[in-house]
Structure 1
Amino acid sequence: MNELAPNAEHDLKHKSLIIFDWDGTLMDSIGLIVKSMHVAGEANGFSTTDEEVKSIIGLSLIRGIQILYPQASAEQHLAIQQSYADYYVRASVEPDQPHSQFFSGIEAMLQQLKAQDKQLAVATGKKRAGLDRVMDYSQSRHYFVSSRCADESGSKPNPQMLKDILQETGYQVADAVFIGDSIHDIQMANQLGMTSIAVNYGAAKPQVLAAENPTYQVDTPEQLIKLLTAG
């Protein structure tokens, strides 16, 4: 685990608002996202690689599709988006898909943070309908006091969704920490000067995340849990 020596501004003990990315940070869904994009692209005559798909995770779906398939027309982008959504929705509710569940220990961590009177929120590249669906499926909505999605506040790394969460909850940047698994997550937090935690177990490689200068960086869900719940 890489913990950069924090000054008082970045001391996690004093953070009242903990904001999480969803896919690859709380939920083990990267494999499903990659599979869904392959299915959607191939259904419309296009192909890409696993690493290319992982590189756009965190962005809004349509923005990611535009980056992955720049040669496609606007109509084809929309068709790929629909094919992706159709497959993802079907697959994400299948109980035998382990990547549609919280990472091990994460739900217990959410419970513990709530017991410590921390306020929890979500900032995700998902659309509102997608986040609502997965929150309902995982029965996790009650953990979070606020959430913002890409179709409400713009695609990461635009920090508007973090600004919206701060405004809704009444906290300042110094009161909050943001946790994510992509460069877009860390870039978003950095634009506001918000304390950030990069997790190496999601979409991006550790060295790629480290280059974005997160405040903290952890290798596993267990290390994230220990870091957030200590003290």
Structure 2
Amino acid sequence: MSGKRKMALFSGFSLIAMALAAGYAYGYVYGGLIDMNSPQDTYRNLRASGTLFRNGMVAWGAIVLLDLLVAGSLYGFLKEVHPRLSALTALIRALYAFILLAAVAHLVEALALVEAAAGAIEVLLALQRFELIWSQGLILFGFHLFGMGLLSVKARFVPSFFGWLLLVAGCCYTGIHLAKIALPGYAQQIAFIEMIASVPMALAEIGLAFWLVFRGGKRHSFQPVKSA
């Protein structure tokens, strides 16, 4: 098995594992326990389901680790296309991972406040800090996807469809999360746009992940890039 094939498999399986962990941590745990419009309900949920919330934080930690690993493996897979852009793209994802880690620290803070019998508003503020920092990190994540899109479009061993999809997803991530910060009065409109954009945003990495697992780096799908 070639080194490129190994990088493709590692990246693909890591991205799939990350999607599953995110579905659990954010979709199931966070989405099931946290209601930003009801501090009291959120407080009661966290008191009643502290163990579940801790499990969610473990999943968040796994996501951070996987982000760092994917940054390195995708750099290895795409570095021959454009070494500097590939390195920059990997660096951006690594930086995003550390921003996410800083955001998750506020989930730890929120649970500690609940266990210390602090007020529901204090807990909600900690959760708001988590969402704000994560949203800021996703602005950066959009630049990572945009860089991945440029590399994939240029690469002769990646279907250009994924490159264009990654470019669109990158613009969506950065644009939507910039709008959340710059235009807080348009939260409902931004949420509607995000719901529509969630399709290319989700398909970009998940689609690439499955392609990497089943096709990435195989000899018959690899065509060396001609030197300039």
Q: Which of these two proteins has the greater Rg computed from alpha carbons?
A: 2
Q: Which has the higher helix share?
A: 2
Determine if the TM-score, normalized by the shorter chain, exceeds 0.5.
no
